[in-house]
Structure 1
Amino acid sequence: MAHPVIIGTFIVYFIVVMGIGIWSGRSQNDIKDFFLAGRQMGPVLVAFSSCATIASGFFFVGLPGLSYNLGYQPMLSIPVLNAILAYVIVYGLLAKPMRYLSERHGALTIPDLFLTLYEDKRVRWACSLVILIGIVAYMVSQWVAMGLMFKTLLGSTYTVGLIVGVVVVGFYSTLGGQKGNIYNDAFQMIVMCLGGILVIVYGFKAVGGFTQMNQSLAQVRPEMLLPFSDNFGLSKWAFISFFLLYAVGTVGQPQFTTRFYTIKKIDMLRWAPAIAASTYVIITLFVFTGMIYRAAEVQGIVQPLTNPDLAVTEFLVAFMPSGGAGLVLAAAVAAIMSTVSTFIVVAASTVTRDIIEQGFDKKLSDKQGLLYSRIATVLLCVITVLVAIKPPDLVAWLGNAAFGFFAAGLGPALVAGIRWRRANKQGALISILTGGGLSLILYFLKVTGKIAPKLDTGAIAFLVSIGVLVIVSLATPYQHRKALPDKKTTVPEIVA
């Protein structure tokens, strides 16, 4: 049984997030409130929310596990540099025009925006399909991460951890919608930052400091101190892959881009990327847990891990006092909850708005739309938890696969729809289907041992998706798209 202080910390944490959900639910009157939080969010809330959404179970479980095996390589190739670039790229390319188009044309979801940009229902259907498939895969990785944490630190079974997580997250997502998610994300980001600082303080103390940690890692392999290596761990091809996926490919992540719809004023978006990037640097400290634990092994302080995904939880057991462990665990769970709750709302909006209401032309009243959205959140939680009982892969690579799937399936068509007038519905449709489909096929071939490409399968699919969109758009007739004002003026120029 876990220490009473840890259990108490979680009880308080769960009360807060569920209370925010109940409070937010009082202002939910229709699906616009549920999906867009009334377009009343400020830049700090949007920045914290976008940062918390990206910092998922992959970040707090998968990455420390990779760092346990590979040292600095996952940290230097994924979180810091690529995350900062991602905020610059995504906010610079998409934030203002997406917010502008959403309000002007009444777009509530990403598939809504695709219909606005390309004026073709097939593109909307394809976008909806990619979102639903990717969300299921991504959410499974989040439930797996949560189950592993509760199993170690709360003395529960893996299945109990899943049930606890789905009940709490499902509750506040169902009641609070997007507003509840964003306010909870802001609270959870504060918890994550505090947790990251505590990890460094107690971890370095346990292994004799930063320098001593590096010396211990070098005893395992000197390459553990390098950003990449052709002879060990992540090669330069992996480094390139992560740049394509986590810096550039973030343009295709619906859990990130839907945040732009919710901000109160377009001009507020100028502050959000700097706030988000700064906060992300702080929570990156969590990735040190894997390296610190590995250094402690070398020093004979702890036993080797049987599963790298347990690096964070075993770190807490070995090095943290009960109060600190409870807070750090709450921070890791916060990352999972912030990501999965956003996916729940995105999936519910896709089912209700894009499939039921728009796809099948079923007119829903405000109360019906809200009810259908809440039913969809419950069903999605149940389905993904059932899949997560026996997950197909390590958390790190399952989350990575879903990230690549979104990047290839949605990213090129979304950016081209806003930034390139020559892009048309044929190019967008083929790009979405090719990018998403190829990502799934290549990933399946990789995990079954049929292929071993140097580039990540998602990165390959992302590049192919870009090429297909350009070639097909140029080879097919020009499409006059009403969403873009004229050939000399772009949407970003209008809202600047």
Structure 2
Amino acid sequence: MIEIQTLVTFIIYFIFLMGVGIYFYKKTTNIEDYLLGGRGMGSWVTALSAQASDMSGWLLMGLPGAVYLGGGKESWIAIGLFIGTVLNWKFVAPRLRVYTGKTNSMTLASFFEDRFQDPTGLLRIISAIITLIFFTIYSSSGLVAAGKLFESMFSINYTVAVVVGAVVIVLYTFLGGFLAVCWTDLFQGILMFLAITIVPILAYNHVGGMEAINQAMSAKNISLSLIPEHSLPLMVIISTMAWGLGYFGQPHILARFMSIKSIKKLPEAMTIAIVWVLISLGGAVIVGLISIPMFPEIADAERVFIEMITEIFNPWIGGVLLAAILSAIMSTIDSQLLVSSSTLTEDFYDKIINKDASEAELMHVGRICVLIISVIALFLALNPNNTVLGLVSYAWGGFGAAFGPVVLFALFSKKTSWKSALAGMVIGTIVLVVWKQVGLGAKMYEIVPGFIANALTIIVMNLFFAEDNQNILDEFDQVVEVVKSGDVL
């Protein structure tokens, strides 16, 4: 049964989140404020918001659960994600910030249209549809994680638990928009960091150190070795490391790059983000390893971090640390809801339904869209058999395969045309979905063939449909010069 102290901690935390939402409701005056915080975010907020919204509930639930079941070989997921994080901040962030500022694009879909000057609108429409589909799946994974957390803590029905989590998240996202999401992500990122460093240190001594971990792993016939015990170990390593490819196409992370005040703040933000990610991923892997001797048998491996906290800490401290899991969940769902809202508002309503909509009308539509996406994600999350990592992996792979190569070619390939980008996006998405549906995802993570198919399609199409519009070519050169000089936009 839940301790009253833990319940009080959670209530205080919920009140804090609502307060942030109400505060930024008053600060949000136009659609750029609501969707991108007025492009005025600082280094700390950008860095921790990007990483907190990136890692989500799978960092504290899905990844430790995978390591608990599979041992050291699952660490390749963390390694791939770390490499992807570094490359994304180093190469994608500067050019994306400058390019989207120059084209005045507020969503990834509108950036594709503006960057390639697509006369048909297909790039924006198809990328917007892909965004909505995969973000709905992604958001539902967070609600599943929230349901498991509340079910474990409060001994309430899973369905009720999912609904409670959804209501809290939707309220502050609905009210405060991007500013509320980013500032709550800052606090949540700090809380997640504290939890993922403190808990494994204390739990390590609690179980009896490395000897106990090795004995428990031997009993389960798993090991610390990074080399999979598999007939094709290289394929397994590539498949798990391929999570890092997903970074280049995640709209909720890329939106943070678009929102920072200037590219001069990016080096500091990158340093903060890399340190946070390195320690957080390492901590999550260690939690998974320590949980093997601590919980020889557990019904749901994704709950090991929850059980570890409740076993080691008193209810007050435990409540704060469990709130970190909720932080991980919320910091991603709120970002996904906002990007989905941005897509519906900016890419459909403003561009197709009502091109003359006022700023106030667009903000109202944005808030309504948050509610619509939330309800759909809620229904998907009501199946308690869903796993957090399973839902996240499909959505993450979907964005990586559909958008990753297009983002990279948009930023680094001068000759890529809208026809090439559109063909690559469609082919990459189709390959990913088909690969997953026929069951090949068990052999190789579907992001790999999808990403490769997308990139190869763009390369081949560029041979026949290379960009020749001088205005587009000149704009590309201008962006490159601004990035090189490091000028404030």
With the length of structure 2 as denominator, give the TM-score of the two structures. 0.94
1:48 is matched with: 48
Task: Answer with 178-187 or 89-98: which moved more.
Answer: 89-98
CA contact (8 A) 2:50 2:256 kept: yes
Aligned to 1:282, which of 275, 279, 284? 279
2:293 is matched with: 295
Divergent runs of 4+, >6 A: none
In structure 1, distance between residues paired with 2:53 and 2:172: 16
1:301 is matched with: none
TM-superposed CA distance for 1:484, in Å, is: 4.2
2:225 is matched with: 226
In structure 2, distance between residues paired with 1:417 and 1:193: 34
Aligned to 1:359, which of 349, 352, 361? 352
TM-superposed CA distance for 1:57, in Å, is: 1.7
Counterparts in 2 of 1:92 and 1:283: CA distance versus 1, 3 Å: closer
In structure 2, distance between residues paired with 1:110 and 1:335: 24
One-letter amino acid of the structure 2 residue matched with residue 401 of structure 1: Y
Q: After superposition, where does 1:453-464 map in structure 2 within 5 Å?
A: 454-464=443-453
Counterparts in 2 of 1:42 and 1:175: CA distance versus 1, 3 Å: same
CA contact (8 A) 2:31 2:359 kept: yes
1:78 is matched with: 77
2:487 is matched with: none
Gaps of 5+ in 2: 485-489
Identical-pair percentage? 27
In structure 2, distance between residues paired with 1:118 and 1:381: 32
TM-superposed CA distance for 1:351, in Å, is: 0.1
Q: After superposition, where does 1:104-143 map in structure 2 within 5 Å?
A: 104-120=102-118, 121-143=121-143
One-letter amino acid of the structure 2 residue matched with residue 228 of structure 1: I
Aligned to 1:96, which of 94, 97, 101? 94
CA contact (8 A) 1:117 1:481 kept: no
For residues 269-308 of structure 1, the C-alpha deviation after alignment (integer angstroms, 9 at most, x for no partner) is 122122101112232313433322211245xxxxx11222
Is 1:472 the counterpart of 2:472? The answer is no
1:395 is matched with: 388
DSSP 3-state at the match of 2:223: helix
Task: Answer with 41-50 or 98-107: which moved more.
Answer: 98-107
1:259 is matched with: 256
Task: Answer with 460-469 or 311-320: which moved more.
Answer: 311-320
Counterparts in 2 of 1:104 and 1:490: CA distance versus 1, 3 Å: closer
In structure 1, distance between residues paired with 2:153 and 2:470: 55
CA contact (8 A) 1:60 1:287 kept: no
The count of aligned residue pairs is 481
Q: After superposition, where does 1:146-295 map in structure 2 within 5 Å?
A: 146-221=146-221, 223-231=222-230, 235-246=233-244, 248-284=245-281, 285-295=283-293
DSSP 3-state at the match of 2:227: coil
1:61 is matched with: 61
In structure 2, distance between residues paired with 1:228 and 1:399: 24
For residues 352-410 of structure 1, the C-alpha deviation after alignment (integer angstroms, 9 at most, x for no partner) is 11011113453210110000000000111111101110167422121011111000101
One-letter amino acid of the structure 1 residue matched with residue 481 of structure 2: E
In structure 1, distance between residues paired with 2:104 and 2:131: 20
Is 1:430 the counterpart of 2:418? The answer is no
1:440 is matched with: 433
Counterparts in 2 of 1:435 and 1:483: CA distance versus 1, 3 Å: same
For residues 222-242 of structure 1, the C-alpha deviation after alignment (integer angstroms, 9 at most, x for no partner) is x4201131339x943232123
In structure 1, distance between residues paired with 2:459 and 2:269: 31
What is the RMSD computed on CA atoms of the aligned residues?
2.0
For residues 411-453 of structure 1, the C-alpha deviation after alignment (integer angstroms, 9 at most, x for no partner) is 111110121012111111111111122212222222xxxx466
One-letter amino acid of the structure 1 residue matched with residue 10 of structure 2: F
1:492 is matched with: 480
In structure 1, distance between residues paired with 2:47 and 2:441: 37
Task: Answer with 258-267 or 318-327: which moved more.
Answer: 318-327
